[in-house]
Amino acid sequence: MRRFLYRLSQLWAWFLFLFFYGVRAYGRRNIPRNGPFIVACTHQSYLDPVVVGFTCPAPVRYFARRSLFGNPLFAALIRAYGAFAVERETADLGALRRALRFLRGGEAVLLFPEGTRTRDGRIGEVKPGVFLLAERAGVPVVPAVIEGAREIWPRKRKMPRFFLPLRILYGKPFRVERGSDVRALCRKLRREYVRGQVRLLGTMGRRPLEEV
């Protein structure tokens, strides 16, 4: 029943986002249809987990900073959609263990390797946690890039805007081999993000923020 309600709500969200933002999802064929995986997504706004949720074929668990769970009603809502708390900027081993448990149980987990929402639209530094978790769980990493969400709901705005374009692109999955150079993987993922951002901005008639 929980999975059915999740899917029903995601279909409703897709309809609303299609109406208000003309949302488009590219590369969904790259998302694994069976088994656990990690979605490693760029981070622009509070809308990002919702967009990944209704465009991804499998229900997705995701990290959310612990301060978001202060309001009991909001906490209940985001928990219903797969959120679990993490202490940002710390080695929150409890949250990592929960993510590992979800992956080993066959579920998908959403991570934001930049760690926080972008301030100016540019891709931030990619942190290595996503690769360490992928290696430990033995699951593929699916890169994802969101564009347009920052303009819809920027950091200092209390409510989102409407009728602006919104796009998401899923890249080809890859696995993290044992002993891989994690710093090289961080650079590789950031390059993937920049290429994806350039492509999405092109579909929106906007200039790239930086060169590939």
DSSP conformational letter for 68 = G
The neighbour count for residue 165, using CB atoms within 10 Å, is: 17
Which residues pair with residue 38 across a beta bridge?
109, 141
Which of these, 163, 160, 169, lies nearest to 197 by C-alpha position?
Answer: 169
CA distance 89 to 9: 32
Under a CB-based contact definition with an 8 Å cutoff, are residues 60 and 41 in contact? no
Residue type present at position 159? M
Strand runs labelled E in the chain: 24-26, 37-41, 60-65, 83-86, 108-111, 141-147, 167-170
Per DSSP, the three-state class of 105 is coil
The neighbour count for residue 101, using CB atoms within 10 Å, is: 13
Specify the pLDDT at position 167.
98
CA distance 84 to 107: 14
Specify the pLDDT at position 89.
54
DSSP conformational letter for 96 = H
Specify the pLDDT at position 182.
94
Give 135-194 as a DSSP string.
HHHT--EEEEEEESHHHHS-TT-SS---S---EEEE---B---TT--HHHHHHHHHHHHH
Instruction: Print pLDDT tens along the chain (212 aa).
Output: 667 777 788 888 899 999 999 999 999 999 998 899 999 999 999 999 999 999 998 889 987 777 778 888 777 777 777 787 776 555 556 778 888 999 999 999 999 999 889 999 999 999 999 999 999 999 999 999 999 999 999 998 999 999 999 999 999 999 999 989 999 999 999 999 999 999 999 999 998 887 65
Per DSSP, the three-state class of 74 is helix
Which of these, 193, 183, 49, lies nearest to 128 by C-alpha position?
Answer: 183
Which residues pair with residue 11 across a beta bridge?
none
Specify the pLDDT at position 4.
76
Specify the pLDDT at position 78.
77
